[in-house]
Structure 1
Amino acid sequence: MELKELTFADLIAIREEMFELKKYYEGEDDQNRIEEAEERIRLIGLRIIEIIQQIFNGS
């Protein structure tokens, strides 16, 4: 996806995906799956920060 095509709806969709992922793994007793979910959520958050920085930098 090119940056100019990105909308705030896309950011909201990414955020919702994070919360769905978290809810999915919260029900698991397996600590490895919980840690995997936390890492995936962290990476999604970092990607959102990168996107926002690109928007404000005009890239």
Structure 2
Amino acid sequence: MRLTLRLTMLLALMASLCVACSGEKEEPLKRNPALIAAVEDFLASDLERKPFKEFTDWEW
């Protein structure tokens, strides 16, 4: 009896995991060429630090 109950619980958990994982697909990451270029320029410079707001054109 206990084995049947444990197997039923295990199957219920597995089914709920399968349903949870089969939801909507995640949107792929979008690349920001301007930000990538700014980071590459910074890495090529001799600077040790740079405020993050200088890498972007939006307000922080």
TM-score computed with the length of structure 2 as normaliser: 0.41
Structure that is richer in helix per residue: 1
> Comparing both chains, which one has the higher relative contact order based on Cα–Cα distances under 8 Å and sequence gaps of 6 or more?
1
The structure having more radius of gyration, on CA atoms, is: 2
TM-score computed with the length of structure 1 as normaliser: 0.42
